Amino acid sequence: MMRPHQISQRLLRLLAGPAYLLILTLHSVLASDLTPQRQHPLVAKVLANLLTQYHYNHPALDDSASSELLEAYVQTLDYNRLYFLAADIKAFEKYRLVLDDSLNKGNVGPAFVIFNLFKQRAQARYAYMSKLLEKEFDFAVNESYQPNRENLAWASRSEELDDLWRKRLKSEALDLKLAGKNWPDIAATLNKRYENFRKRIDQLDAEDVFQYYMNALSESYDPHTNYMSPNNSQDFNINMSLSLEGIGARLTEDGDYTVVNEIVAGGPADRSKQLFANDKITGVAQGDTGRWVDVIGMRVDDVVKLIRGKKETVVRLQVIPSSSPVGSTPKVVRLVRDKIILTDREAKSDTVDITHEGQKYKLGVIMIPTFYSDMEGRQKGEGNYKSTTRDVRRLIGELKSAGVHGILIDLRRNGGGSLQEAIELTGLFIKDGPVVQVKSFNGEIEQQRDPDPNIVFDGSLTVLVDRISASASEIFAAAIQDYKRGVVLGGQTYGKGTVQNLVDLNRVPALSQYLLASNDPLGPGKVAFGQVKVTMAKFYRINGGTTQHRGVTPDLAFPSHYDQADFGESTEKHALPWDQISSARFTMEDRVAKYLANLRAKSQKRLATNTEFRYLTEDIARLKKERMENSVSVLESQRKAERDQLEVQRLARVNERRKAKSLAPLKKGDAIPRDDSAPDVLRNESLHVLADLVAASSKDYIAKSIKVDGSKPNQN
């Protein structure tokens, strides 16, 4: 699951463009400088107190924490060391041992001083960008660019940063040139790109800065303790429930306009037949009589905030249809908000017919992108509330009706979600018993058990994971593995074995009293404080080992695009360590252990002659080499030769696939049909492993069922 600090870093990674570095001091004050909001001092004190009392490690807010906070905050703002100079970093040293004392007093001023300097540095660089694009780059000069500067030294002079930005921009321009664009188009594209980056920095507000700073504090204790601003709190709740109340449209930014990116099927926008993809929204009004708010130039999340609202309330939009000419008068679209069910992240299934060792098998695949649960709907007793387990139970019923011989659960790229859903999902495949052990911050250990003694699917089972599979995904995979109920395939998982509790800051007494204070000019209900996720416990497998740091090691391993040295919990600076407690008492089903050696041998034999698997391992090796070298050539002839080589390789692979289908080969420049794209080789091999498991299990069943007289049982 993407964490809030990753969201901010991803945004800041986009905010990258060359500009001349003005020589500014920490004492420079501009009219556009941000300052703390009225509530921030109190919220900061409450957060610091919550962390020291309830975090799993009971961290002290001392000089050591202050030092870590400074490092983490600077890293958040300038992770790639492209804005600040070494002199700036040296100037920040005056804060290194005093931020703890400042927070205890509710002083978050240093965060804003540092951010305002970052903003000045960034805006100055964007201003220089257009100057660089006035003249075409010389792509015949042999030089290179290092895209990853996270572990390199801070630039000592502005000229050094100028050169880094020049090479970065030149590399982006070369990409566009090799894609067939001429220089005027290249310059226009990059000018627009970096103007958008500049605008995004301008739109960052005090709440954004406060969130970055509070996350730097929380994540210096562990990487999964996060502060979420009111806006991000709402998005988090939507992602967990897969539902929201609004109009059913996904929005994006295009210059100064908010543009409809997608219409959600069945929502109010879809039913109205008045709002479509690529339409521009220029104004928003509440109800039938509310005043219009001009949203041109407004950041998209603020527009979303205006459009979302309670079910059965009215929102009006001023819309310029995508088909209208420039300068057209907007039309008014009246919509009644409703509950929207988001289907793109819910569990889905598929049936696959394969021929394996001369036998035909019908296999089921269930893809689970996240572990979701509409807790509010569940508590209200709504009959159709969204839940991973409810959806998978239904999908299993459909697959059983289709006559599948076995099921593959695909958890790749599933970053986790609801712990309760992981427990209940495990219960669909086992009779009863513990699923996970949880050790809280006070040392108490609790076993979380399967709440339902019924087994929904009793057949052959495999689980496919990768390095991104984390948290609840690891709980499910570990339980299936420990019970030996199914075979776990893929790559070693992420290793997130910590439990976070969500604290609604609006319910914290000190903050709720602040809202009700009669002398508060903001007034009751005018301020929302957001939420904080606090690591209060650790997961432990039923065999006693934690999933923290080490994750789940598959029974049958596949190669991974993700290097364990670069990605995963073990790479996080402040990750909690691996440890072990006593094993829980459980009855192992042992449905797979005796087959594992044979399954591995058969899989290795298949993959040794699998052309698509060879392609995969070649691509993984190339990507690993590129990461280690950390250098991109901006010499046109070399970059073109590298791309041509990759294109020749890609075309050869496509034609090899077409040859296997008895199709004519393609020539250079031909459009490549979708059917000729690379197949999901790891899923395909997982299905063959599942077929092997089905076959072996069936033979054992028949052997055990042979009657005393030697006859076979009735197979009808």
3-state secondary structure of 322: coil
How big, in percent rounded to 5, are the helix, strand and coil portions of the chain? 40, 15, 40
663 near 682, Cβ under 8 Å? no
Give me the DSSP letters along 234-301: HHHHHHHHTEEEE-SEEEEEETTEEEEEEEPTTSHHHHHT---TTPEEEEEEETTTPPPEE-TT--HH
- Concerning whether 450 is annotated as a catalytic residue, the answer is no
Q: How far is CA 361 from CA 350, 406, 410, in A?
A: 14, 9, 18
* Tokens 């004190």, residue located: 45
**Residues linked to residue 283 through DSSP beta bridges, in sequence order:** 294, 318
> How far apart are the two ends of the chain, measured CA to CA in Å?
46
Other CB atoms within 10 Å distance of the CB of residue 34 = 18
Choosing from 391, 482, 555, 692, the catalytic residue is 482
Q: How far is CA 695 from CA 96, 356, 407, 557, in A?
A: 63, 10, 13, 21
- Concerning whether 496 is annotated as a catalytic residue, the answer is yes
Q: How far is CA 220 from CA 51, 92, 150, 625, 678, in A?
A: 11, 18, 17, 31, 41
Q: How far is CA 611 from CA 618, 681, 686, in A?
A: 11, 10, 16
- Concerning whether 471 is annotated as a catalytic residue, the answer is yes
How far apart, in whole angstroms, are the C-alpha atoms of residue 65 and residue 216? 10
> Strands 556-557 and 487-490: what pairing?
parallel
Choosing from 171, 373, 418, 471, the catalytic residue is 471
Q: Which of 366, 533, 539, 341 is nearest to 448 (CA)?
A: 539
| Entry field: residues in the chain | 716
How far apart, in whole angstroms, are the C-alpha atoms of residue 89 and residue 153? 11
Choosing from 167, 386, 496, 538, the catalytic residue is 496
DSSP 183: H
Write a three-state SS string for 396-437.
HHHHHHCCCCEEEEECCCCCCECHHHHHHHHCCCCCCCEEEE
Cα Rg of the chain, angstroms: 28
Catalytic residue list: 471, 482, 496
